[in-house]
Amino acid sequence: MTKSDNLVRCGWVGDDAEYRHYHDTEWGVPLKNDRAIFEKLVLEGFQAGLSWITILRKRENFRRAFDNFDAETIARYTTKDVERLMNDAGIVRNRAKIEATIENAKAFLKLRERTTLKKFLAGHLLQGSVQNQAQALTDVPASTELSTRISKALKKEGFRFVGPTTVYAFMQSSGMVNDHLVGCFRHGECARLQKDAWRA
């Protein structure tokens, strides 16, 4: 746990002001629409092998480069767009992840023909969001049986870079799981925000 501004926070936040703001206002807050969910899922995929603060600092660049994560636009990207993105120093220039984003946009649109991404994900949460009671960072898992199950379901739909660890990070950040430590000032606040937000 860390303490600043007389507030107790999860220990991973540290002293970085941008990270602290993200923790205090976004992490664990339920996402309200499919565009935001798609964006977060893609960004978590880009985060694989990196720290989240790296992605956070480049997030506006990602939004600009990927047309504000409009899936219909991304699904039409060509090899020229891939090269454009590979030459964009403002984002993470990883060809496999860029190409996966295009495929994920196509998978997202195909899924949307029968349901929303939010409903698809919520269908795996039988009791709504998971409320954990971690006392320390060592109590927080990197992945769970649930994230593994969702990972397999997403892959079956054609999504890429959605392994169990990436999916669990997404679940934490999108409010499917409350992994704020119980001593953190946001634990109770996020529990209230998450109530019924992810029920199918």
pLDDT digits (tens, 9 = 90+) for 59-95: 999 999 999 999 999 999 999 999 999 999 999 999 9
Q: Binding site membership: which residues?
A: 10, 23, 180, 184
Mean pLDDT of the region 50-59: 95
Tens-digit pLDDT profile for residues 32-44: 899 999 999 999 9
Q: Binding site membership for Zn(2+): which residues?
A: 10, 23, 180, 184
Residue 18 a catalytic site member: no
Tens-digit pLDDT profile for residues 6-28: 899 999 998 889 999 999 999 99
Count CA atoms within 13 Å of residue 8 on its CB side.
Answer: 11
Catalytic residue among 19, 27, 39, 44: 44
Please say whether the beta carbons of 140 and 24 come within 8 A: no
**Residue 1 scores a pLDDT above 80:** no
CA 134/CA 128 separation, integer angstroms:
18
**Residue 127 scores a pLDDT above 90:** no
The pLDDT of residue 5 is 80
CA 8/CA 36 separation, integer angstroms:
28
Catalytic residue among 12, 22, 157, 189: 22
Average pLDDT of every residue of the chain: 95
Q: Which domains does the chain have, with CATH numbers?
A: 2-194 (1.10.340.30)
Catalytic residue among 12, 52, 99, 189: 52
Residues 6+ apart with CB under 8 A from 3: 9
Q: How far is CA 169 from CA 74, 78, 141, 144, 179, in A?
A: 23, 29, 10, 11, 10
Residue 44 a catalytic site member: yes
**Residue 200 scores a pLDDT above 70:** no
Residue 27 a catalytic site member: no
The pLDDT of residue 14 is 86
CA 69/CA 196 separation, integer angstroms:
26
